[in-house]
Structure 1
């Protein structure tokens, strides 16, 4: 295909409302896809922190006692390597990759995170038993967000 003809086709696609054009001729096949404008990411709002009503408890000497920090989860945490949508199974009716109590091996898929219409299998980075599943099916997840706790 002539370079001038190709340039004209690219200009026509960029100036029109179409997002894709494919032309097949004797010399070959050309497919032009217009890059979509990046959509604003959709994030789930963070839950509001819980606050106790009233004054903090006092020690015998009158000093305020600091609230106890949440205990660290026992076990290895499998974290999200990307921003996307968490899915426990490959399709809506399929069996989940990992259930509570299942034993997983390093490299075994434990979930899928959909990012930019691409389904990315997330693999266990350690051997162990699934103690907790920290995300709901279809939930938006952030980079580094804990997904599973493995013993």
Structure 2
């Protein structure tokens, strides 16, 4: 086959989506296959970065900031792990929104590498908000609960 005919055949298919072409003439078989058979840019657009913070997370952050300004305290995670509200799978939560907790009271469990760590309250007052969903991962220092401090009767008298 002449070089000019081969070039003409290549030119004819270069701007098409034909992946392979074969031709036979006088017992001589010639073919071409595209080396970079793949996806076109149109079928797979350029990857875009994913916004790790969803609108829900942003709303939670705004709510946490406004609550901090209201004098509420937070019970934070002392470690990285998986959050559980009960001490047994499918069990009753250790604390609910509206419950009163004392300092040292067990409020949740965080599991890390099959080790269960009991998390206790470092604040005394009413649980106003559970900030983490069951079985969600938590980070070190991440707020778990919001607590409205309990004002004792003797403290009220001092302020009068």
Residues 132 and 46 (structure 1 numbering): CA distance in 2 closer, same or farther, change over 3 Å?
A: farther
Q: Normalised by the size of structure 2, how large is the TM-score?
A: 0.51
Using the alignment, how far apart are the partners of 1:46 and 1:103 within structure 2?
34
Task: Give the aligned partner of residue 111 of structure 2.
Answer: 114
- Name the larger-Rg structure: 2
Shift of 1:116: 1.3
Normalized per residue, which structure has more helix?
2
Say what the alpha-carbon RMSD is for the aligned residues: 1.8
Matches within 5 A, 1:126-141: 126-141=123-138
Task: Give the aligned partner of residue 42 of structure 2.
Answer: none
Matches within 5 A, 1:69-84: 70-73=65-68, 74=70, 75-84=72-81
- State the number of aligned residues: 88
Shift of 1:72: 4.2
1:8-38 Cα shifts (integer Å, max 9, x gaps)? xxxxxxxxxxxxxxxxxxxxxxxxxxxxxxx
Task: Give the aligned partner of residue 47 of structure 1.
Answer: 53
Task: Give the aligned partner of residue 89 of structure 2.
Answer: 92
Residues 46 and 92 (structure 1 numbering): CA distance in 2 closer, same or farther, change over 3 Å?
A: farther
Residues 46 and 102 (structure 1 numbering): CA distance in 2 closer, same or farther, change over 3 Å?
A: farther
